[in-house]
Amino acid sequence: MLGSREEEVRRLLRRLTQMGRLIEVAHDHFFTRDRVVESAAAVRLLAERRQNGKITAAAFRDRIGTGRKLAIQILEFFDRTGTTIREATCGGSGRTDQSH
């Protein structure tokens, strides 16, 4: 019974994504367009506050008030869509806002 209900929900989420109402940021993580825009604005704000324009996953996580795993999944979505560019270094990694 639960499996069939889960599949119903997945179909609904896929349909809403096709309609442009939701965006699948990561597997089984759907957000409204407004929430994605808000998250991108958080990236932009954080980058503007840094002299080098780079942000960290921890700063982004703290800004949007979520857990580390979800914050990284959102940042990886932004990397895939060209909103940010991930730059790995020996001292960690940062992302540069590309939305300008």
Is-contact 58 68, C-beta < 8 A? yes
Question: 19, 60 in Cβ contact below 8 A?
Answer: no
Max distance between CA atoms of the chain, in angstroms, equals 54
Q: What is the pLDDT of residues 2-42, one digit of tens each?
A: 578 999 999 999 999 999 999 999 999 999 999 999 999 99
Alpha carbon distance 63, 51 (integer Å): 18
Per-residue pLDDT at 96: 64
Supply the pLDDT for residue 90. Answer: 44
* pLDDT for the residue numbered 23: 97
Q: Are strands 22-26 and 29-32 parallel, antiparallel or unpaired?
A: antiparallel
Q: What is the pLDDT of residues 53-85, one digit of tens each?
A: 889 999 999 999 999 999 999 999 999 998 888
Tell me the three state secondary structure of residue 47: helix
Query: What are residue 31's DSSP bridge partners?
Result: 23
Residue 97, pLDDT > 80, answer no
Write out the H or E segment, with its range, that includes residue 57: helix 57-64
Backbone angles phi, psi at 34, to 5 degrees: -60, -40
